[in-house]
Amino acid sequence: MNSEVTELRRAFPIFAAVPPPFHYLDNAATAQICHSAAEALHAFETRGRANVKRGVYRLADAATAAFEEARTAVAAYLGTDDPSEIAFTSGTTMGLNLAAHVLSPRLGPGRAILVSELEHHSNIVPWQMAAERTGAELRVAPVDEEGRLLVDRLEALLDERVAVVAIAHVSNVTGILVDVARVGAAARAVGALLVVDGAQRVPHGPFDVRALGCDLYAFSGHKMFAATGAGAIWIRRELAEELPPFLGGGEMIARVSFAGTTYARPPHRFEAGTPAIGPVLALGAAARWLLTLNWQTVRRREEALTARLLDGLAALPAIRILGPRDIRDRFGIVAFEVAGLHAHDVCQLLDGFGVCTRGGHHCAQPLMDRFGTVASVRASLAPYNDEADVDALLTGLEVISRKFR
């Protein structure tokens, strides 16, 4: 293990807690929590627990200040200096449901929603529900045999009837990076809004969300080394001022009477009720910690590991890789099949080698249909992974394919 990875692993409590062999390659489902995030969560729950936004005593003031500091940290990670563009949610799924709800007034008969074949179910089902509710048409942009979005085909589906385009930044099955900026430009050309599922992109380093040309961008904390239960959605400020709330209740109002209610300004308009305060503080802490990393070095190492994994899988005769065989425009998420074995069985057998992977349809059944399968094994990388993790997976697969096929 090189010194950089050794130092990174010291930032994660689990690597000191779980005895070897321990090769965690299920990061696309849930990444491990870093010390900074765990400490922020523990400190709030044990030394600073109070509700936010309304209290006037010192403990509550401190909790509210920390909550807003987390908002500022998350905004900085996304490259925006406007924290009011960040609304906290329970995660990507809630963020995308929020988007589908608040954009529904722009839908209706004669309007259309455009998604793609590579989407996670959380970026399909809410739009199906919105289409059923409003009478809008749901259009689907295809992918090629490698699972890459056919952007020219997507552009051909865009016309003045399309009100919303909803697309993943990075596929949770293949790791493919979508050219969101190109999709955003095409959407703007016909007056459509662009919603991005950023769940698989945010763990891989900071970026400028406004440069993508999107209007809403949803993601989860538990995939970016924070706690479960909190995520966020970035909403372009100019748009947020126009949108209705998602949920009704406390904290999202300016004034309530039986004659009618006026709503708070963004982002509070989208944050009804008591939020998951501790997990939000953990998310802020993780964002601050991630901003300290040398991402040029981290990305270079991840590319090398991804290439090592792809080459190793390609050398095994029983393996079929789903998605590209190279590292062009992709991150370290690789799905594959082992001939003659179900994905769940492969994952259980790999656990005997201390290797943690994910098996199933990965909440992407339309993409599985496109690949002509029902399930696959998925290995996904994080900054704390190294060559030993990849080699343990490949060794385990070689033994499994020889012994059990």
> What sign does the dihedral 100-105-109-111 (CA atoms) show?
negative
Q: What's the angle, vertex CA 371, arms to CA 369 and CA 373, rounded to 5?
A: 65
Write down how long the chain is.
Answer: 405
* Angle, helix 35-47 to helix 277-290, in steps of 10 degrees: 150
Provide the 8-state DSSP code for 274. Answer: -
Q: Which two tokens stand for residue 291?
A: 């901003």
* Catalytic (active-site) positions: 363
Contacts of the segment 125-129: beta carbons below 8 A, 24+ positions apart: 126/96, 126/97, 126/99, 126/100, 126/101, 127/100, 127/164, 127/166, 129/100
Can you tell me the distance from the alpha carbon of 26 to that of 324, in angstroms, rounded to the nearest whole number? 19
Burial grade of 320 (CB within 10 A; 0-12, 13-18, 19 or more): middle
DSSP readout, 311-365? HHHHTSTTEEEES-SS-TTB-SEEEEEETTS-HHHHHHHHHTTTEE-EEE-TT-H
